[in-house]
Amino acid sequence: MSFMRVHTIRKLFLFGKYSLALLLPKKWLTELGIERGGLVTMDYDRRRGRIILRFETTPQLKKPSLRKPPVTSIQDDLEPIPQIQN
């Protein structure tokens, strides 16, 4: 069995007030059979300094609702991420 490793560098960007986001190449996700609505399991390996992602496919989602999502409370232990100065 042969494995093909592909290397890419991506920037993280601010998503909301408390999160950073990373965009993954659609081609990679398509090759893995991942579609909109798929679930991602994340494991944080502090000892090795890595985050491991495992993708699970799910049935196609219904069209998004135009209703506003319910407001949820923000956990007290979260701190805002400072904005990057250009």
Domain contains 37: yes
Domain count, the chain: 1
Distance CA 40, CA 85 (A): 31
Against a cut of 0.85, is the pTM above it? no
Q: Is residue 46 part of a domain?
A: yes
Q: Where are the alpha helices (DSSP H) in 1-86?
A: 26-31
Asked if the structure places residue 73 within a domain, the reply is no
Mean pLDDT of the chain: 77
Q: Residues 9-16: what's their mean pLDDT? A: 92
Which residues have a Cβ under 8 Å from the Cβ of 61 and sit 6 or more positions away? Answer: 36, 37
Whether 69 is in a domain gets the answer no
Domain boundaries, position 40: 24-60
pLDDT in tens, 21-66: 999 888 888 888 888 888 889 999 999 999 998 988 655 555 556 6
